[in-house]
Structure 1
């Protein structure tokens, strides 16, 4: 039987974090790294993480990414096993509850093995750990992650999402935006989540962008990854707009995307990796929620700007309320769920963000 975790007498020196993906979740683990290192600057952290997400966090001070390629099958598992062979950690922070992560966790040798509390755990994670973080009132994933740091004695949270960004990436971002010539405040639109049912419609993004340009003299810049779906969404938004946006979809890596956000006033996005990455900058993030609960996954530093239609989705598609649904429930089984969010709710948030700036 697993027991509640209790802070150790001293913050341990060698810690293994197990969080493979997704991009937004890994971005939200970064404050845990800063919290642990603030409590013990000489801490050595091994982070078992998927290859794509490692591109964001691999150069954090004191962190060694133990990269696992989730598309690599048995050979990837064997490669990770070789990386972990002979290593011994003081504590394993098992921050990924899945059957894949359970199997991987068995490769980690650690004196303490700490997993999620009952509400957050799933896929029988309890069988692979010896302790659990205490139950906390907050639903947000960030607060759940920070409870792991507290469980090993790092009790003062450091709400810092920053990762090192090379000068070359900042220079690339500035060149893409031509910031020396165009000084208008920027509305970035990152329209796609890795879960397609979380995406808003292209014509609605277009209407919100047109409003930002006309009402606030902003510049609309479309960003995203190189996938065909993201390229198509960017093209669709640009075609639906009456004003002219700058389309940079597919033209940046993760660090360069962060460097772009450093120049922005507002980011408009669904519940996505960029929504959480943007916590590393001063940009105001308007995240769109009908398929997911913003109390769990809203952009942490801009929670007051979340557009929240999760209650409407719960009523329509689950005949329930957000509080009655199990923690972590996603309403991603109907293509119309994000259509519950009207353009006016988003333009109101744009107006609010520009007033606060």
Structure 2
């Protein structure tokens, strides 16, 4: 049964991290805004994620800096003193997020049901959102808006960046060529594809007269991998890893022709901008965490790796089961990714 038959005055969204999950959550929030444009939305999120939310209109963003420890909670609760929301959407089951709810006043506190909840999240909510049949993270989040009373709708995104961000992106792109942005690294090294695999893809794209750009954050793991790739390529490779702000990267992803990335935030940024993206997966089931609109273009070694690790049919495994083998991404062969690149070029008329 829906909680609201008419628009609530205010909603609080609790989704602290990470970039990919925040991207998925944006589709839910914008669906709510389309149905109830007068409802005030307050979103509590992490410091980096707040940068991305600058691209979303008509929301109040409150930054929760987890690095400040207990002071982060005290600052959050102080900022919300005297305020009460019609509903809190507790959309992250991490215990640090649940603790934050203790200082958020709301009649309804929605959280995942037992099927999707972890870390005792059910103890911090008074309304459980029924899990959909689909295992994808976004479908689980969309169930929150349905519980509120928002009619079922197709996920869509509207993210806006500044003219300055747009100009920066245009300066990086060669207008005479198709552009491939590769985000080679995730925050966790085991999610990254192999150096040799990336080299094969880059060399192939360069031979096809594509501009190839490496993008990513200034995290040392990303900078090091990009630098090693740049040193190994004889052709013209543009290395922007660590050289862009988050919304500049969003603009670059929006204006390029194709993105290739492992299981990381920019994969979902591309999805949100309707830029074709080839996701590279081995540790998490891409049917759960892959780019929502581009599942057909995922190159996955997950089923092969999980079968080798568990000897259990995938349909009998818990939907969250993760491959533990740190070398699982090496199961993805360069031929597979190049074939998918060729498919994307054909399907999206990029030749």
- Residue 13 of structure 1 corresponds to 9
The whole-number CA distance in structure 1 between the counterparts of 2:109 and 2:220 is 41
Do the aligned partners of 1:187 and 1:266 also contact (CA within 8 Å) in 2? yes
Task: Determine the structure 2 residue equivalent to 1:203.
Answer: 196
Which segments of 5 or more consecutive residues in structure 2 lack a partner in the other structure?
none
Matches within 5 A, 1:281-296: 281-296=273-288
CA RMSD of aligned residues (A): 1.5
CA distances 1:242-275 after superposition (whole Å, capped 9, x unpaired): 4331111111111101111122121110010000
Q: 1:111 aligns with which of 107, 111, 133?
A: 107
Query: Compared with structure 1, are the counterparts of its residues 200 and 175 closer, same or farther at alpha carbon in structure 2 (3 Å cutoff)?
Result: same
Note the C-alpha offset of 1:170. Answer: 0.5
Q: Which residue, 239, 244, 248 being the options, matches 1:247? A: 239
Deviates more, 1:315-324 or 1:64-73: 315-324
Alignment partners' CA distance in 2, 1:247 and 1:144:
36
Quote the offset at 1:159 in angstroms.
Answer: 2.1
1:35 pairs with one of 21, 25, 31: 31
- Determine the structure 2 residue equivalent to 1:69: 65
The reply on whether 1:352 has 2:343 as its aligned counterpart is: yes
Provide, for residues 56-108 of structure 1, a one-character-per-residue CA deviation record: whole Å limited to 9, x for no partner: 01452221111100111111111111111111000111100011111111111
Answer yes or no: is 1:334 the counterpart of 2:325.
yes
Contact 1:161 1:280 in 2 (8 A): yes
Q: TM-score, normalised by structure 2?
A: 0.95
> Is structure 2 residue 165 aligned with structure 1 residue 173?
no
Distance 2:315 2:265 in 1: 25
Give the Cα separation in 1 of the matches to 2:344 and 2:252: 18
Cα distance in 2 for partners of 1:82, 1:264 equals: 43
Q: Does 2:50 correspond to 1:54?
A: yes
- Shift of residue 221, structure 1, vs aligned partner: 0.6
Per the alignment, residue 270 of structure 2 pairs with 278
8 Å CA contact retained: 1:28, 1:161: no
**SS of corresponding position for 1:157:** coil
Comparing 279-288 with 295-304, greater Cα deviation is found at: 279-288
TM-score using structure 1 length: 0.94
In 1, distance between residues paired with 2:250 and 2:61? 20
Task: Quote the offset at 1:44 in angstroms.
Answer: 0.6
Deviations 1:9-50 (A, max 9, x none): 223221011100011101111111110101111111111111
Given the alignment, which residue of 317, 323, 342 partners 1:325? 317
Q: Cα gap change, 1:257/1:59 in structure 2, threshold over 3 Å: closer, same or farther? A: closer
- Structure 1: runs of 5 or more not aligned: none
